[in-house]
Amino acid sequence: MRTIQDMAAALDTGATTARALVETSLARIADPGGEGRRAFLKVDADRARAVADAMDALRRAGRAPGPYAGIPTAFKDLTDLAGEPTPAGSVVLADAAPAKRDAPVAARMFAAGFVGLGRTNMVEFAFGGVGLNPHHGTPASPWDRATAPRVPGGSSSGTAVAVADGMVPVGLGTDTGGSCRIPAACCNIVGWKPTARRVPLTGILPLSASLDSVGPLANTVADCAIVDAIYAGETPRLPEPANLSGLRIGLPQRMVLDGMDTTVAKALERAYAALAIAGARLTEIALDELDEVPAINARGGITMPEAYHWHRKLLAERGDRYDPRVRARLVAGETMPAADYLDALAARADLIARTDRLTAEFDVLALPTLPIVPPTIAEASASDDDYRRINLLMLRNSNWVNMLDRCAIALPCGEPGGPPVSLMLVGHRMQDARLFAIAAAVEELVSGREEPAARRTLLA
């Protein structure tokens, strides 16, 4: 596996160049047998080459902006990039006015010297956990792709597939109810959701102002930590793996385990056994409070009215151009009484306070990111009822993390060559650095990934 750190070291020693890294990425995106045309909605090859050449020249002159200068990256299609419209995976905004400036998260990556290759596919307006996009096509998960294409997870579908297929080592995702972690789980990579307030949302087309967050998807915990720090305007530091001996891990039961398939159950059992052998103290906890999240969302919750508020004029003018499944969820926010929305906000605040007290004794919570392996694209799109059922199931284990305003990370834990399975670790609010340290240690125990041949070849 080639990580950001590997690439930075190779650039530093002259073993590679920014231009070579970019050409490798562009070749992977253009591979006619790959998923590049569905993973990326726009590729700016000429600009990427020009920026890479500039970074190489700066490095030769001893003036590179940092150790990561020249490393390719990508941005989810809801990110403002100066001079370009921000369509957010939709055709509704394809002719929108171009952004006047880069979103701060993008500007910070460019200032660090990363080379933007383009815009990645996503669920239209980030409203869904499955990953389907009827406008631009759905990129398939790397697993079982040749025989039964599987959903990539949403809404950051294109970013996840781009990282998993070696098109870029890291890319931007957003997470309102699991949209970094779910695609990471489906594509067998690492997905990070920060404490939302740490990373600016300016220049990111919103879904829910109360629940949105911006995080990276990458191959390793360390890569996520590096880019998360850049997004947040902090100094990147590699996480020092925590000592797992005596670590207090809470294992939520009940709802998060309902309907779990045998593949996920076995992988979870292996992961927990490895943690116990390492000296971690695992304690099952009911955490019945999570059952309240569906009730808060039952009448529209927080996301639907906030999303409708942003989309109401577009829906009136161009509602027929939306993905019908996305439009149906957006218009549901139109009739929600303001009192119900305020009740949902109050219920959220109360739930945060109570669960903070209940989980204070634990360093981290652990549970499956998804209770199932990725279903096929055909299964998820067979009917509206099938879509709704699968979408709710794929969001179930992750959306409460946003409701509780916490940080979380999805880590691969399946068997090499087998279906992707993911372990989610949930930290306390604003303890992101601590969660990265714990995740770095857990990653060493549970990750049994086998690199796809294409990624091994193109990133060797």
CB atoms within 10 A of CB 236: 17
The domains found in the chain, sorted by start residue, are 4-289+350-458 (3.90.1300.10)
Give Cα separations from 270 to 197, 210, 261, 276, 432 (angstroms). Answer: 34, 36, 15, 10, 26
Is the distance from CB of 52 to CB of 22 less than 8 angstroms? yes
Please give the single-letter amino acid code of residue 383.
S
- For residue 106, give every residue at least 6 positions away whose Cβ sits within 8 Å of its Cβ, in sequence order, or none: 75, 79, 80, 81, 116, 172, 203
Q: Specify the pLDDT at position 300.
A: 86
Please give the single-letter amino acid code of residue 234.
E
Q: Specify the pLDDT at position 454.
A: 43
Token couple for 153: 């997870």
Please give the single-letter amino acid code of residue 245.
S
| Active-site annotation, residues | 76, 155, 179
Q: Specify the pLDDT at position 118.
A: 98
- For residue 42, give every residue at least 6 positions away whose Cβ sits within 8 Å of its Cβ, in sequence order, or none: 77, 84, 118, 119
Whole-prediction pTM: 0.96
**Tens place of pLDDT for every residue, the chain, 460 residues?**
489 999 999 999 999 999 999 999 999 999 999 999 999 999 999 999 999 999 999 999 999 999 999 999 999 999 999 999 999 999 999 999 999 999 999 999 999 999 999 999 999 999 999 999 999 999 999 999 999 999 999 999 999 999 999 999 999 999 999 999 999 999 999 999 999 999 999 999 999 999 999 999 999 999 999 999 999 999 999 999 999 999 999 999 999 999 999 999 999 999 999 999 999 999 999 999 999 999 999 888 999 999 999 999 999 999 999 999 999 999 999 999 999 999 999 999 999 999 999 999 999 999 999 999 999 999 999 999 999 999 999 999 999 999 999 999 999 999 999 999 999 999 999 999 999 999 999 999 998 666 544 444 334 4
- For residue 432, give every residue at least 6 positions away whose Cβ sits within 8 Å of its Cβ, in sequence order, or none: 194, 195, 198, 228, 407
SS3 content of the chain, % helix, strand, coil (to 5): 45, 15, 40
